[in-house]
Structure 1
């Protein structure tokens, strides 16, 4: 049985990652797939 995603459970993934100390942002370039996030350190 598959588990639901964090987003489906109402978890704010971006806030959780930032609170854990991970710098996170979305790529806004058109050439990238809109659902793929790029992480920068």
Structure 2
């Protein structure tokens, strides 16, 4: 199940430490982004 989800979403499967190392090496996000609309800032 986890493998299928990772492949379909194009994400890396592994520990948080491993994911952090991959992000540093390749300069690209490998963890899922936060879902939803950005919150309004107070102006």
> TM-score, normalised to structure 1's length?
0.27
Pick the structure with more helix per residue: 2
Point out the structure with max Rg over C-alpha.
2
